[in-house]
Structures are given as C-alpha cells and as structure tokens.
Structure 1
Amino acid sequence: MVFESQAASDGGFPFTFHGSYVRAVDAKGRFNLPFRLRQGGPAEQEEKYVVLRGADGSLALQPHAVWIANFNRVREGEPGRQRREYLRRMSHGSHVVSPDSQGRIAIPANFLESAGIGRKVTVVGMADYMELWDPEQLDRKLEEPLDQDDDFINEFFR
C-alpha cells in the first residue's frame, strides 16, 4: 500500500495512520515503528519520514511525501516575512529518518529531549502523520477535560 498525500474524493486519505502503540526507545534513540503504521509500496521506493516538533509538546512524524507537499503549499503562499518564518522553522526543525532493516526509526537526541521522551515512546496515528509522545505526558494530556466533548463526538460520528 503506497501512502499518497492527495486527498481522496471523499475528503479523506487513501491510507490513514490510526491507533496508539507504546514502544521501547533504546540508548541510540531508536524505536520499532509499529508495522501497522509503516508505509508500504514497491521495494524500490525508499520508506522515508520527516520528524519535527509537533503540537502540545509532541513530535510529529510525517511521510516524506506529506512533508514535501506541506512545505510546498506554504512556499507557494503569499510572499512575506511570516511565510519566510514558517519555511525557516519547518526546514530548521526537521530531520529525515528511514527505518533500518529491523524497522527501527532513530530520532535525534535533541528531538527526544525537547519532547521529554525517555525509555518509552507512544506512537499515535493522526490520519496523515503520527505523533510521538512520552507516555506519561500523553496520559496527562488525555486526562485534560475537553470543553466540547459532545460537539466532538457529534462531529466524529456524523
């Protein structure tokens, strides 16, 4: 299955990342990317991801093609200082990673430190990207009350 960054006709994606998985992080900052979240495709297609700082203290792990599409979308925006700042931050704060032969992704130490990730990481599928969390920080985040629980449920299941 090849991940495509183009939206499907129903507004979704042909493949979405979903679910939550806890993985051990070794001394070199590597963890096994869950098989269900791995990109598929022909053997000659290199499986690449971009890791960057995400929302709410997490790290984001995007398929390389999705990151390129997002970068190009921002690049094609209205010229100006704000666009340059976005591009600079997207480029400066990103790192390309590929799974090794055992399916492990190596995340740079400074990224892990910035997200408070130590010996364990929770990988959360977020449709077209994944979030990487320290498990305890994610638990605290999920315990925070949502102001609009009913609105969220109605939107999700409509």
Structure 2
Amino acid sequence: MFLGTYAPRLDEKNRLVLPAKFREQLADGLVITKGQERCLCIWSLTEFRSLTEQLRQAPLTSKAARDYMRVLFAGASDEVPDKQGRISVPQNLREYAGLDRDCAVIGAGRRVEVWDVAAWERYLAAQEETFSALSQEVLPGIL
C-alpha cells in the first residue's frame, strides 16, 4: 500500500526519484498512466495487471469503456527504476500533467500519483473542506 506525500523534483533528464518507501514495491517495474484531474498514476506491475484484468470484464459494446481503455493504454509507459530509484517520465505524460520541475508524489493506496506541486496544492485546498462530509457518503456505515 502506498501512503504519504513527498516532494521530489524532475532532474535535467526528466527523471523522477521515487520516494524510498515506494521503491521496493516498484523495483521489478511499473507502469505510468494518465490519471484523472491531470495527474499521473504509477502502478506496480502486479496492480496494473489486476487493473487490466478488471477492464477486460467491461463489454466492448460500451463506448465509455472503449474510450477509457484507449486513453489509458495509449498514454501508458512501462519503466524499471534504476539503482537510485529514478524513472524516466516521457514527454507526453509530463505535458499531460503539466510537470516541469517541482512535483508532489502521493501515495493513493494501490497506486502512486504524481502531480505538479502547484496543481496538487490547489486540488488539496479545494478538497479538504469537503473531506469530512464526503466520508459518510463514500463509506456508508464504516465511518
């Protein structure tokens, strides 16, 4: 499980240093995809295979499913971290997420999200006010 918030920077070769706590889970390889709200998602190979299997259950007659899979897979990049825990972030994905230098890397349970730091701060500020109220709707009977 991925938890926490970190603030690495892209280096001059557009590589991102993965947080030390995430490296073991991602050491064998990972997949970077477009995420919602203009962030990037980093999936371990195991989790990406599980996601792919779930998507295979969607009917091909569903336009929404076809559209989602096309965007997800067409923009995806498989990477293997180097010995320093760095991964290359392809240009198309950097442009999609508006990544320049300063990043926010957050643990999001089954995946890691990479945000432009200013975009993350705006998103977080907008969401924190409704966080408590949403917990009752998102997890009825649990919280």
Q: Name the TM-score class by shorter chain.
A: 0.7 to 0.9
* Equivalent residue number for residue 17 of structure 2: 32
1:49 aligned to 24, 27, 30, which one? 30
Which runs of 4 or more aligned residues in structure 1 lie more than 6 Å from their structure 2 counterparts after TM superposition?
none
Query: Which one-letter code corresponds to 1:116 in the other structure?
Result: G
Q: How does 1:6-155 map to 2 (within 5 A)?
A: 16-40=1-25, 47-82=28-63, 83-145=65-127, 148-152=130-134
In the TM superposition, what is the alpha-carbon distance from 1:40 to its structure 2 partner? 4.3
Tell me, yes or no, if the aligned pair for 1:71 and 1:90 is still in contact at 8 Å: no
Which deviations, in whole Å up to 9, do the C-alpha atoms of 1:28-65 show, x marking residues without a partner? 11021011112349xxxx61111111111111111121
In the TM superposition, what is the alpha-carbon distance from 1:113 to its structure 2 partner? 1.6
Structure 2, gaps ≥5 residues long? none
Q: Secondary structure at the match of 1:144?
A: helix
Quick one: distance in 1 between partners of 2:110 and 2:34? 16
Quick one: distance in 2 between partners of 1:95 and 1:25? 17
Q: Secondary structure at the match of 2:106?
A: strand
Higher helix share: 2
Structure 1, gaps ≥5 residues long? 1-15
In the TM superposition, what is the alpha-carbon distance from 1:81 to its structure 2 partner? 4.6
Quick one: distance in 2 between partners of 1:79 and 1:151? 36
In the TM superposition, what is the alpha-carbon distance from 1:86 to its structure 2 partner? 2.9
Quick one: distance in 2 between partners of 1:109 and 1:118? 10
* Equivalent residue number for residue 9 of structure 1: none
Which deviations, in whole Å up to 9, do the C-alpha atoms of 1:92-139 show, x marking residues without a partner? 111101101111011102211211111121100000001101111111
Give percent identity, aligned residues only.
26
Q: Secondary structure at the match of 2:43?
A: strand
RMSD of Structure 2 on Structure 1 (CA): 2.3
Tell me, yes or no, if the aligned pair for 2:30 and 2:79 is still in contact at 8 Å: yes
Tell me, yes or no, if the aligned pair for 2:75 and 2:92 is still in contact at 8 Å: no
